Amino acid sequence: MHVFVSLETDCWYSVRLKGQEALFPALLVDSFPGDTMNGAPVDLSFKNISKLTDALMEEPKSSLRPLKRNAEGKYISCSLRLSNNSITDLCDLQKTVSHFLAEPSHLAWLDLSFNQISHIDQALCKMHELRVLYLHGNNIYSLSELDRLGALPHLHSITLQGNPVETNKTYRNRVISALPQLKTVDFSAVTQQERVLAKLWHQGNSRSKRSEKRV
């Protein structure tokens, strides 16, 4: 199942499933694989944000699950939604997370889908508690960018469809090989057979590179 959230109203999301447009209640979209963290997400989607520092001036959108704040006014949540903006880089991600979340080091669910991100910034790789990462609908071209995500030991779900990197024939093998702990890729469960194939692909690719060096 391929899910692309493209439009939001007060209580409904417009979602494309295999090319078909359909409306789903916001709570149902929030229950899609990966969005199972405690507390409502801090929702900064559709805010016309081009730089993450712009987000600091924004108020999160209200949802059917009210956000709670601590005594300092920060949100008690481990989920952050920044989808459907025009973000190009993530260098200020730590500042943004710390601005909104009461426990920034506990960020576990991050939605960066439908932006203009082309590079996996080191700031993202420092989110060591991250479990779920949505990056679909961006501009990531190079498979080597994904290797940096190996610094996230708890990451178990990622989406990358709709990026130029998806057109590479070895795309899924490379993702599973680089991040062997993944349980789902692009909303599709990683099977044992895929794990074995990814491991074989990685071994074959490593041998090929060693042979090229000797030549």
Tokens for 85, please give them. 């903006």
3-state SS assignment for residue 73: coil
Query: Is the per-residue pLDDT at 198 higher than 90?
Result: no
H/E element, 96: helix 93-100
For residues 46-73, give the mean pLDDT: 94
Any residues with CB less than 8 A from the CB of 211 and at least 6 apart, and which?
A: none
Q: How confident is the model at residue 203 (pLDDT cuts 50, 70, 90)?
A: confident
pTM: 0.80
> What pLDDT shows up at residue 103?
96
Q: What angle do CA 113, 89, 174 make, to 5 degrees?
A: 60
Query: Is the per-residue pLDDT at 10 higher than 80?
Result: no
* Contacts of range 3-9, beta carbons closer than 8 Å, 24 or more positions apart: 3/32, 3/187, 4/113, 4/114, 4/136, 4/137, 4/162, 5/29, 5/83, 5/84, 5/113, 5/114, 6/84, 6/114, 8/45, 8/46, 8/84
Q: Whole-angstrom Cα distance, residue 150 to residue 74?
A: 30
Weakest-pLDDT range from 23-32, 63-72, 111-120, 163-172: 23-32
Query: Is the per-residue pLDDT at 213 higher than 80?
Result: no
